[in-house]
Amino acid sequence: MNRITKSIVLILILLSISCHKEKPKNNYLATYIDSLKTEYSLTENPLLVIDGVAAHYESMNDGWFLIKEEDISSLKYIKKGETKIYGSKDVNGVVLLTTMLSERQRANTKSEKKTIYVLDGEIISLAEYKKIDQSKVIGTATITEQSAIKEFTSDKYDELIYVTTKMPTE
């Protein structure tokens, strides 16, 4: 055999070996679902819902989609019939999985602060605050000191945004 033929044969052998490799062992999620199937005597996989979206468990085990244990924020199993929103799809129950990424995104989009807006000493609404002509603004301050906020309202607010504008020149 010449050198090129030997190289091709070697490549084919290596490809053959790599294609027949043993599948990787189950990941954390697969192990969890397998334990549910054993514990609850399930014949099929439960419905898997990841961050609110139904996913096919079988395709996850192919290795193209791997959720590591450290990527999981919460994992909960709901038995068959305990929820009605999944209809007949929950015949083997539902596994609800929330990822850490989803938790972080939810935390970043949710503002729990109650804010009051003040323009030149007068309380204004959020809509009025958004309409302020920025070219007239001298300064803006965010105040979180409760005693200062109490000067404007007796209601409970987490922060006060105080805007000072330029006086009209006319």
Domain range for residue 32? 24-109
Indicate if 62 and 28 belong to the same structural domain.
yes
Q: What is the pLDDT of residue 39?
A: 92
Residue 128: left (phi > 0), alpha (psi -120 to 50), or beta? alpha
Count of H-run helices and E-run strands, the chain: 6, 8
Q: Are residues 127 and 66 in the same domain?
A: no
pLDDT at 1: 58
Q: Are residues 100 and 134 in the same domain?
A: no
pLDDT for residue 170: 47
Helix (H, G, I), strand (E, B) or coil at 8: helix
Q: How would residue 82 be classed by pLDDT, with cut points 50, 70 and 90? A: confident
Asked whether residue 12 is domain-assigned, the answer is no
Asked if residue 85 has pLDDT above 60, the reply is: yes
Q: Would you say residue 58 lies in a domain?
A: yes
d(CA 124, CA 42): 59
Low-confidence winner among 22-31, 97-106, 112-121 (lowest mean pLDDT): 22-31
Q: Are residues 41 and 105 in the same domain?
A: yes
Do 48 and 66 lie in one domain? The reply is yes
Residue finishing a domain among 75, 90, 109: 109
Bridge-based pairing of strands 137-143 and 159-165 is: antiparallel
Instruction: Indicate the number of domains in the chain.
Output: 2
Above 90 in pLDDT, residue 66?
no
Residues 56 and 130 in one domain: no
| 3-class secondary-structure state, position 48 | strand
pLDDT of residue 65: 57
Q: Are residues 161 and 92 in the same domain?
A: no
Grouping H, G, I as helix, E, B as strand and the rest as coil, residue 138 is: strand
Between CA 82 and CA 51 the distance in angstroms is 19
Within a domain: residue 65? yes
How many other CB atoms are there within 10 angstroms of residue 164's CB atom?
15
Inter-residue contact 92 to 44 (CB < 8 Å):
yes
Could you tell me if 100 and 30 lie in one domain? yes
Query: What single-letter amino acid sits at 132?
Result: I
User: What pLDDT is recorded for position 23?
Assistant: 47
Give the residue-averaged pLDDT of 92-120: 82
Q: What are 136-161's pLDDT values in tens digits?
A: 888 788 888 888 899 899 999 989 99
End-to-end CA, the chain: 98
Q: Is the residue at 11 inside a domain?
A: no
pLDDT in tens, 15-57: 665 555 554 455 788 888 889 999 989 888 888 888 888 877 7
Does residue 97 share a domain with residue 34?
yes
